């Protein structure tokens, strides 16, 4: 429970800070993706977990350059003696007040140099996950829908003509919204809704790692492949189930 709250707080905090204007957002992208969900299973039950029908998802992505301190400058009132640091000449009141001002700039080379640079990206995704459960007497497809926040460290390689390569890796945190299932066991069809939370069908929170590779086809259009590797057991019974998702998305750069 504690790790769920901590990861949720970290994910929401990063999104709020980015949206607040405290950071310089370099790019914003809207994307639609087609994901192929599957699952990883371990436990005593005689089940088989595999992929299910692809799902359509939507994403909003924000990217800002990695920032670093490049030094400091001094400010304050004058000294009535010569300033030992050499910043001020003699004269004026003698209160000796001084303060440091830190200057920040992005670690991004000039675009003309076509050199790689690092950036941080945060996203907000509506994503469909799930899996197909197969037993001897039938099968069931579980569709799980989440609101997901991925945070990635990216290495970006500018190319001629406005093209760009981007490679990213980092954690994600996701909250279950709703779900449904449909199946056929012993020749009888079944369907219904799935619930998230304690003593429900699946755990409310999911978290894991995400890897991505993106290519800017034009200065505005991007193609991205990603893989979500769930690290939390989302099943509420003795069997363990982890989300796994491979996705391909098309994005439009708004900014």
- Beta-bridged to residue 213, according to DSSP, are 167, 225
How big is the CA angle at 157 (ends 56 and 68), to the nearest 5 degrees?
Answer: 100
Is residue 88 in some structural domain?
A: no
R_g (Cα) of the chain, nearest Å: 25
- In a 3-state reduction of DSSP, which class is residue 61? strand
Pairing of strands 99-106, 48-50: unpaired
Is residue 90 in some structural domain?
A: no
Is residue 93 in some structural domain?
A: no
Residue in 119, 123, 90, 121 with CA at minimum distance from that of residue 106: 119
Is residue 75 in some structural domain?
A: no
How far apart are alpha carbons 51 and 129 in whole angstroms?
Answer: 10
| pLDDT at site 237 | 76
- Residue-number span of the structural domain to which 162 is assigned: 2-66+104-253
- pLDDT tens, residue order, the chain (255 aa): 555 566 556 555 555 555 544 445 567 788 887 777 776 666 555 455 555 566 667 777 777 766 443 444 444 443 444 444 444 444 444 444 444 444 444 444 444 456 888 888 888 899 888 888 887 778 888 899 999 999 999 999 998 888 899 999 999 999 999 999 988 877 888 899 999 998 899 999 999 999 999 999 998 999 999 999 999 999 877 788 899 988 889 999 887
Tokens of 77: 């009132």
Is residue 58 in some structural domain?
A: yes
| pLDDT at site 157 | 92
How far apart are alpha carbons 249 and 244 in whole angstroms?
Answer: 16
How far apart are alpha carbons 168 and 12 in whole angstroms?
Answer: 20
Is residue 97 in some structural domain?
A: no
| pLDDT at site 103 | 43
Is residue 15 in some structural domain?
A: yes
CATH number assigned to the domain comprising residue 126? 2.40.160
How big is the CA angle at 111 (ends 109 and 114), to the nearest 5 degrees?
Answer: 85
How far apart are alpha carbons 34 and 44 in whole angstroms?
Answer: 32
Total of domains in the chain: 1
Is residue 192 in some structural domain?
A: yes
């Amino acid at each position: 429970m504690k790790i769920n709250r901590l990861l949720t707080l970290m994910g929401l905090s990063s999104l709020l800070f980015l949206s607040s204007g405290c950071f310089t957002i370099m790019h914003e992208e809207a994307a639609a993706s087609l994901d192929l969900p599957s699952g990883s299973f371990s436990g005593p039950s005689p089940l088989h977990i595999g992929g299910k029908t692809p799902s359509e998802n939507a994403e909003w992505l924000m990217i800002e350059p990695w920032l670093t301190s490049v030094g400091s400058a001094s400010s304050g009132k004058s000294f009535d003696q010569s300033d030992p640091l050499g910043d001020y000449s003699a004269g004026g009141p003698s209160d000796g007040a001084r303060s440091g001002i830190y200057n920040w700039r992005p670690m991004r080379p000039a675009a003309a140099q076509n050199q790689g640079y690092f950036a941080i990206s945060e996203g907000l995704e509506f994503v469909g996950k799930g899996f197909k459960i197969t037993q001897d007497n039938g099968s069931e497809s579980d569709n799980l829908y989440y609101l997901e926040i991925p945070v990635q460290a990216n290495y970006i390689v500018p190319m001629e003509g406005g093209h760009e390569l981007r490679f990213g890796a980092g954690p994600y945190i996701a909250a279950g919204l709703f779900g449904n299932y449909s199946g056929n066991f012993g020749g009888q069809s079944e369907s219904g809704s799935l619930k998230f939370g304690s003593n429900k069908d699946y755990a409310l929170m999911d978290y894991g790692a995400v890897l991505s590779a993106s290519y800017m086809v034009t200065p505005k259009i991007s193609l991205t492949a990603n893989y979500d590797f769930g690290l939390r057991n989302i099943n509420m019974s003795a069997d363990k189930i982890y989300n796994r998702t491979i996705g391909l998305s098309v994005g439009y750069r708004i900014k």
